[in-house]
Amino acid sequence: MLLRISLIVAILAGLGAGTLAYLEFSKQIPVLVQQRDDEKSAKQTALTQLANTNKVLVKTRSELLQTQQELADTKSERDKALASADAATRRADELNTKLTKVTQERDDAQNDLAAYKATNLTPDQVNKLNAQLKDSQAEIAAITDEKIVLQRVRDRLKAQLDRLIGPEQYVKLPPDLRGRVVTVDPKWEFVVLDIGETQGLQQDGELLVSRDGKLVAKVIVRTLQKDRAIANLVPGWKLGQVTEGDVVSPAHPAS
């Protein structure tokens, strides 16, 4: 009998301990489930961040390669501009030398003609001297025109070189350069000007837009033609609405 009682007591104690253990474990189940969910969410977040980081890394690498290519292209353009500027300078020096020589020849011909007029030369001799003088004058005019064109090319190349060498270099424009706005596009913020390369305007030259003597905006030339130019409005310099007929003048005139 005592043995049975002991067994019953042991069984009841085991059942009680099992019940208590089950109750305690039941309390921990939600905590474990929450921890599992949190860890799963944290893992998913980490995977998402890793994917985003990989995308940013790929994009950054692509931008780096593009920047390196642009730097190489810029260096190549700078070298070409330097070579062109040197060639234009040498050609201008040659023209100056030739102009000096032709001018001297013209002066000598004029002196000879004056001297011959005081003598008893034949009409054929005088006509020959006149023809030589006209040829010299025509050659001087041609050289002068070519010199002006070369000076414009040299100025344009110098502006390109200044732009490639450093961002702080400004394109210098003729101080008496004046023009007007003929077309305005407020959506894309650009204007069309009635002046161009013939008047001395240069690529990337900056112009002040004014009306009745008051500053309205500043523009920078992006497309240059012979007698026309397209310029973009410079951010931060728009003090009013640009309209057709507004006057433009150099922001950085040559001294």
pLDDT in tens, 102-152: 788 887 777 776 766 666 666 666 677 677 777 777 777 777 777 677 667
Residue 147 in any domain: the answer is yes
pLDDT of residue 181: 97
105 and 204 assigned to the same domain:
no
Residue 241 confidence (pLDDT) above 80:
yes
123 and 153 assigned to the same domain:
yes
Residue 239 confidence (pLDDT) above 80:
yes
185 and 160 assigned to the same domain:
no
Mean pLDDT taken over the chain: 79
| Partners of 185 in the β-ladder | 190
Mean pLDDT of 204-232: 95
* Structural domain containing residue 106: 1-169
Mean pLDDT of 201-229: 95
Closest CA to 238 of 212, 213, 215, 211: 215
Residue 209 in any domain: the answer is yes
Tally of domains within the chain:
2
8 and 131 assigned to the same domain:
yes
Residue 223 in any domain: the answer is yes
206 and 184 assigned to the same domain:
yes
20 and 86 assigned to the same domain:
yes
Most confident of 30-34, 86-90, 206-210: 206-210
* Dihedral sign computed on CA atoms, order 70, 74, 77, 79: negative
Please give the model's pTM, rounded to 2 decimal places.
Answer: 0.40
48 and 27 assigned to the same domain:
yes
Last residue within a domain, chosen from 145, 169, 193: 169
Q: What is the pLDDT of residues 163-189, one digit of tens each?
A: 665 544 688 999 999 999 999 999 999
CATH number at residue 102: 1.10.287
159 and 205 assigned to the same domain:
no
**The two structure tokens encoding residue 12:** 């009841």
CATH number at residue 235: 2.40.30
128 and 226 assigned to the same domain:
no
pLDDT of residue 65: 77
Q: What is the pLDDT of residues 53-105, one digit of tens each?
A: 778 777 777 777 777 787 777 777 777 776 777 777 787 778 878 878 878 88
Query: C-alpha angle 232/238/244, rounded to 5°?
Result: 65
89 and 111 assigned to the same domain:
yes
Q: How far is CA 174 from the centre of its chain?
A: 21
Last residue within a domain, chosen from 111, 138, 169: 169
pLDDT of residue 16: 60
3 and 34 assigned to the same domain:
yes
Within 118-241, residue ranges assigned H as helices are: 123-165
* φ, ψ at 95 (rounded to 5°): -65, -40
